[in-house]
Chain A
Amino acid sequence: GAVVSQHPSRVICKSGTSVKIECRSLDFQATTMFWYRQFPKKSLMLMATSNEGSKATYEQGVEKDKFLINHASLTLSTLTVTSAHPEDSSFYICSARERGDLEQYFGPGTRLTVT
């Protein structure tokens, strides 16, 4: 089956620093990748959708300059949280979809803690 990896699985950083999270599709070409954020006991909140080679489409209320998304290849997308603050602490999950396939395959998630 389709496998999506995320790295790192957990990261702790200090306020004001930037953190990069990688999302890779291991055995398929991910023409579309999605980045979600999830607060404790809440559902997934879509942050942005990115198509390979194009700029990401951000959801309303998500700051483009704070959450930088790059989808440079068909197997890799990155999310960079810039100038992180404690309120950015959350569980970030990526998912990937192959062209013509409706199903999204999820990565294992990244737990970000900003101190």
Chain B
Amino acid sequence: GQNIDQPTEMTATEGAIVQINCTYQTSGFNGLFWYQQHAGEAPTFLSYNVLDGLEEKGRFSSFLSRSKGYSYLLLKELQMKDSASYLCAVMDSNYQLIWGAGTKLIIKP
């Protein structure tokens, strides 16, 4: 079966760095997405990785290792507004997104 695993909840301090991990087992692979979702709102796109390595975009970076079925989202210089759920999603061989359950990130002052 297809499976996406990520931690349920993480807590970090304002100004610090946090890494949210995601492991996956899917039928085929056409890329991995990270989305941010604030409570009661729709997800917003953060990053897309299809090749191994690190993609940096401002305070956010995303890493992928296809051989390990592993990705992480790295958030630097955390701000209170970064408190949200972070969803990992893998596009399978049918170009459908398989979603993780999301990681709720709590930022403390």
**Contact residues of A with B, CB < 8 Å?**
34, 41-46, 49, 91, 93, 102-109, 111
Residues of B contacting A34 with CB < 8 Å?
A: 97
Residue of A nearest to B100 (CB): A43
Chain B residues within 8 Å of A, Cβ to Cβ: 30-31, 33, 40-45, 48, 87, 91, 95-97, 99-102, 104
Partner of A103, one of B48, B96, B99, B101: B48
Question: By the criterion CB–CB under 8 Å, are B43 and A44 in contact?
Answer: yes
Q: Give every chain A residue within 8 A of B33 (Cβ-Cβ).
A: 103
User: Of A93, A102, A105, which contacts B95 at CB under 8 A?
Assistant: A102
Query: Chain A contacts of B91 at CB under 8 A?
Result: 102
A to B CB contacts below 8 Å, 24 in the list: A34-B97, A43-B87, A43-B102, A44-B43, A46-B97, A46-B99, A91-B40, A93-B43, A102-B31, A102-B48, A102-B91, A102-B95, A103-B45, A103-B48, A104-B97, A105-B45, A106-B43, A106-B44, A107-B42, A108-B41, A108-B42, A109-B41, A109-B42, A111-B40
- Across-interface contacts of A91 in B (CB, < 8 A): 40
Please name all residues of chain A whose beta carbon is closer than 8 Å to the beta carbon of B97 when the two chains form the complex: 34, 46, 104
Instruction: Let me know if A43 and B45 touch, CB within 8 A.
Output: no
Residues of B with C-beta under 8 A to A103? 33, 45, 48
B99 touches A43 (CB 8 A): yes
Q: How far is the CA of A43 from the CA of B96 in the complex (A)?
A: 15
- The closest CB in chain A to the CB of B44 belongs to A106
A13 to B31, CA, bound (A): 39
Asked whether A46 lies within 8 Å of B96 as measured between CB atoms, the reply is yes
Task: Write out the residue numbers on chain B whose beta carbons fall within 8 Å of the beta carbon of A107.
Answer: 42
Nearest CB to that of B43 among chain A residues? A106
Using Cβ atoms and an 8 Å threshold, which residues of chain B touch A93?
42-43
CA–CA, A69 to B29, complex, Å? 28
CA distance A105 to B43 in the complex (A): 9
Q: Say whether B99 contacts A44, CB under 8 Å.
A: yes
- Known interface pairs A102-B30, A102-B31, A103-B48. Does A43 touch B42 (Cβ–Cβ under 8 Å)? no
> Complex: how many Å from CA A92 to CA B101?
16
- A33 to chain B minimum Cβ distance, whole angstroms, is 13
